[in-house]
Structure 1
Amino acid sequence: MTTKGEAFAGLSVALTTPITNGEVDYDKFGEQIEFQIAAGTNCLCPVGTTGESPTLSHEVHERVIAFVVEKAAGRIKVMPGTGSNSTAEALRLTKFAERVGADAALQVAPYYNKPTQKGFYEHFRVLAEECGIPQCIYNIPGRTAKNMEPETIIRLAELENIKLVKEATGSLDQASQIIAATNLTVLSGDDSLTLPLMAVGAHGVVSVVGNLVPGDMLQLIAAVNEGDFARAREWHYKLFALCRDMLGLATNPIPVKSAMQLVGRDSGEMLLPMTPLEPHEVDVLRKTLTAYGLL
């Protein structure tokens, strides 16, 4: 079935933001973008949770969006995080992203203030009606403290500019309900759930481990799309330890930043209150990376 956001199906990578001495390292950032383009990644998602958006100033947030769009230069899609728990703030960031040439906007559900289902609907309705680029709803109740119920998302799918959902509830039932009732393009918000979600009709993933191994995530996605579930399971289990460590060792993006440092592609520096892995956690991660063949 054709879906509204099918141009964004496949692998989107939730980019880390390289930091050196407390500032964004744009030279290193450019290298990361080129790495993803060379790998065949479908879409870049800067300034999401993995990109440390909660600790970047609004000025730097906008600068990063403009930088990634400029570096991508039309060679790869760009879907930056522009969400907020303030509708006015999300609208301002999204209009900025649209103005500088982003292809879509990733909109995390309003967090902390815990809106009602009506509040969720009205928030996303404003963004859909007042912005011209496709909107990807990002439902992650583990971080926002409130689930957007399937009925709300199904209602939002009636709006022309709501085209995608990043599904990070961990509920196969919720994802199935959305897929069955809408023509939204559904992307997994959890690397380790890419295969099961695609098996019920999702269309790809917004990936954290894709910062390290985009080619392998692309192989998993291709195997599912080709109906080769035996090969897809092989890739799922090969990737599983990496996915486990990215989610289990500490809060995202701490483990992936540490992994990028260990493989020599990032300083590992983060902005407070995010702090590095403890030494024993680094040892676990190093063993996983070595077993995978990355070290």
Structure 2
Amino acid sequence: MRVGLLGAGRIGASHARFLGGHPQVDTLLIGDADVRRAAALAGPIGARAGDPETVLAAGLDAVVIATPTSTHAELLVRACDAGVPVFCEKPVAPDLRTTLEVRDRAAKTGVPVHVGFQRRFDAGYSAARQAVLDGRIGALHRVHLVTADPAPPPAEYVRSSGGIFRDCHIHDFDILRWVTGREVDSVTAVGANRGDAYFSAAGDVDTSAAVLVMDDGTLATLQGSRYNGAGYDVRMELSGTAGTWVVGLDERAPLRSAEPGVDWPPGDPWTDFQERFEPAYANEIGTFLEMARGRTGSPCTIDDALEAFLVAEAATLSLREGRRVPLAEIR
């Protein structure tokens, strides 16, 4: 396959490693507005480099979009109009109106689009989803989600991120839908600023919590932080009438028991999301290439991404206005 990768930043570099060594990829072309950065990434893995325009015009079999959020919509539409299967990092667009426009435009072309939510390709989340489907959890009554970063992103990133619910917790909203098979009915969100002033200056928070009511009455709670000094903490707890399953409760979970004589977990805590989800990212890219070859459908469509975005919009509105927000209001 002849694959184009647009974006040579942190997540683009991660995708480049997997694409450059994948047996189905004969030629990898890396495009970035900073051609020198693209060349620095391409050289060690034997890829070719150029600007995004050059890459898009190179007769691709597939394209991976890992550029800044503000460019996603235009690049995704251009790839679809050219008939090239697309992998696009979340979000599809920075706002709801543009997301809907891109969804409709892509649907008219019939080109398959895969939106990047890597947790769907993680072994733990996949096992939890299967446990729900198989009935091993029983009737699901409650879910708890945690996403906590060990250190905050830089101020310039926060200013353009869209806020913690759109930028960070959108992964929780997507995986909540995917694992449980249910939709969110309403959201009540709160937040606080406990660290650097640039979060509040950007209208954002660095500490978050929410209660989500699912369409079947299941209650889900959510917690998040940009200052989790113990390490990178991402977990999902699902409790039902037959058992409780926990994703992320492994030997590197950044947790310590207060009980005497208990020294588990013994490993060094995860340092960041890329280390924690490295196998998931590899699985995600492999699945995208299978989709591009026509061997499978999209594992995460624009409609899926839209549903997670709607929950993030509801949470953001709830935080701003201090009230419960039904998803029907956002729709």
Shared fold, TM over 0.5: no
Query: Rg: which structure is higher?
Result: 2
User: Which structure shows the higher helix fraction?
Assistant: 1
TM-score by length of 2: 0.30
TM-score by length of 1: 0.33
User: Which structure shows the higher strand fraction?
Assistant: 2
